[in-house]
């Protein structure tokens, strides 16, 4: 068992304002994993003051970009060295299956490399070619840091969410307050250790495990210039309204209810194997999960049978077991939320193909949900419209390609999606018509050089690569 009695504030391990420690328990069996200090308002005040001073005094924002890049490259290397430890710790905290947390580690490397490449390629100060060659002036565009950034992340994929914000914010010269979920206190304190070892100056970074009330205090703090948030659409709307009152810069990566369109010529075996990962990654607790499966009426029964067989073949159990594909939900209330949605689906008249509201036999001591599939689902049903955030899939029928696109776009969300076809050009043509920030063809992975983010209620702004880096800069024009 691990105990963290201090908070990482401004680059220093500091006694918290409240000495009480939070018990952190295993989603698998309720065993005590550790205890950790939690940030309160006084700790936020201290962290903001240090970040404000570090930014206003100018050392970090005025550090040459090449030197900032070197520090963040060192952070990326330190994380790689402890990848196995990180994977095991997140699996224990979240209940994420070990295959998933291990598979995500190379992705973190690619994520960091894309940001570092963007920082090297960005012209931090560039003279524009004039549209009028006879103009008696020249315009110089600078990309400057915004200021103090509050990065607020969820529990489901903590290292990915944290580094997607911390790395570009620091590369741009901002100071950062990383607010993390209490559930991830252990893994995020490990991240704090890596940040300490990377050599950042005093005051530049704090890691604050805290509850929602403290989080709201942080985002409304007058010393914060920008909010970068990943989480639910409901919370995102709240944060956007609070930011609007103070005209804070804000970027939001929010929920999803992504559709996977199986075209009539799709290789069903390959598609269903791909859906195993794109629909049920991280126990279904993923904003990008493609949980709406759209099948042509001509192959509907065939698709439903194949998805049923795939889901029923998956091993549910101890996330530390390398043979487990789906572990428990992160908390008991999250388990109950998912089970309630399964009951909603039954009440709405959807046909239960696999799973159901019964907890898997022998796993009653953990936060487990039996992976569930519904067929004969109408797009108006709640289970087809609302983000469930668990291992629950719905299969909808479509008549033709136009109907498939209509159903895929019949959602308040627009984060992700997928198209499966034997004809890549045909699939790409369909992907163009889906109103979502990221669409994959035939199970291709999401890249990190291109922008990632949502349409509609799935967010504002983008992460990854150059687009993600620019979210943390202000553009200034100096005319000479």
Separation of alpha carbons 202 and 232, rounded Å: 32
Pick from 82, 83, 100: which is nearest to 91 by CA? 100
446, 291 contact by CB (below 8 A) = no
149, 165 contact by CB (below 8 A) = yes
Spatial CB neighbours of 154, under 8 Å, sequence gap ≥ 6:
161, 181, 230, 231, 232
Q: Which of 253, 285, 387, 463 is catalytic?
A: 253
Q: Which of 285, 287, 387, 463 is catalytic?
A: 287
What's the farthest any 2 CA atoms get from each other in the chain? 80
In sequence order, what E strands does 322-415 have? 351-354, 372-375, 392-398, 413-414
Angle at 364 between CA 361 and CA 366, to 5 degrees: 125
Give me the count of residues in the chain: 480
Q: For this structure, is 287 an active site residue?
A: yes
Sequential DSSP letters for 299-316? GHHHHHHHHHHHHHTS-B
**Bridge partners (DSSP) listed for residue 176:** 149, 205
Q: For this structure, is 322 an active site residue?
A: no
Separation of alpha carbons 141 and 476, rounded Å: 6
1, 34 contact by CB (below 8 A) = yes
429, 262 contact by CB (below 8 A) = no
Residue numbers annotated as active site:
253, 287
């Amino acid at each position: 068992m691990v105990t963290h009695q201090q908070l990482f504030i401004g680059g220093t391990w500091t006694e918290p304002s409240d000495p009480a420690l939070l018990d952190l328990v295993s989603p698998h069996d309720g065993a005590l994993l550790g205890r950790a200090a939690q940030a309160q308002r006084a700790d936020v005040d201290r962290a903001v003051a240090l970040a404000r001073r570090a930014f206003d005094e100018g050392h970090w924002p005025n550090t040459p970009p090449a030197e900032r890049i070197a520090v963040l490259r060192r952070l990326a290397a330190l994380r790689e060295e402890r990848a196995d430890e990180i994977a095991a710790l997140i699996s224990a905290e979240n209940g994420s299956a070990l295959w998933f947390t291990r598979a995500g580690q190379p992705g973190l490397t690619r994520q960091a490399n894309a940001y570092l490449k963007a920082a090297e390629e960005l012209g931090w100060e560039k003279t524009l070619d004039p549209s009028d060659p006879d103009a008696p002036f020249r315009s110089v565009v600078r990309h400057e840091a915004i200021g103090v950034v509050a990065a607020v992340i969820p529990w489901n994929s903590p290292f990915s969410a944290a580094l997607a914000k911390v790395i570009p914010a620091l590369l741009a010269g901002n100071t950062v307050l990383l607010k993390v979920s209490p559930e991830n206190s252990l893994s995020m304190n490990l991240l704090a250790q890596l940040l300490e070892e990377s050599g950042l100056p005093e005051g530049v970074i704090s890691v604050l495990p805290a509850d929602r009330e403290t989080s709201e205090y942080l985002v409304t703090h007058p010393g914060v210039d920008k909010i970068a948030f990943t989480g639910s659409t409901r919370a995102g709307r709240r944060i956007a309204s609070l930011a609007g009152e103070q005209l804070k810069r804000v970027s939001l990566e929010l929920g999803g209810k992504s559709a996977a369109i199986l075209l009539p010529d799709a290789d069903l075996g390959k598609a269903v194997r791909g859906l195993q990962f794109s629909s049920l990654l991280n126990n279904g607790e993923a904003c990008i999960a493609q949980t709406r499966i759209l099948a042509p009426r001509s192959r509907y029964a065939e698709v439903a049978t194949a998805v049923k067989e795939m889901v029923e073949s998956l091993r549910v159990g101890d996330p530390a077991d390398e043979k487990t594909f789906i572990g428990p939900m992160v908390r008991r209330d999250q388990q109950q939320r998912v089970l309630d949605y399964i009951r909603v689906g039954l009440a709405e008249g959807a046909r239960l193909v696999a799973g159901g509201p019964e907890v898997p036999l022998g796993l009653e001591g953990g936060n487990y949900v039996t992976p569930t599939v519904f067929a004969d689902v109408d797009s108006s049903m709640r289970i087809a419209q609302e983000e469930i955030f668990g291992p629950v899939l719905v299969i909808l029928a479509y008549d033709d390609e136009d109907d498939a696109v209509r159903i895929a776009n019949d959602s308040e969300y627009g984060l992700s999606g997928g198209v499966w076809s034997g004809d890549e050009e045909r699939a790409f043509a369909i992907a163009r018509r889906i109103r979502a920030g990221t669409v994959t063809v035939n199970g291709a992975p999401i890249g990190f050089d291109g922008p990632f983010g949502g349409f509609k209620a799935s967010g504002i702004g983008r992460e990854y690569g150059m687009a993600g880096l620019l979210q943390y800069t202000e553009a200034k024009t100096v005319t000479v």
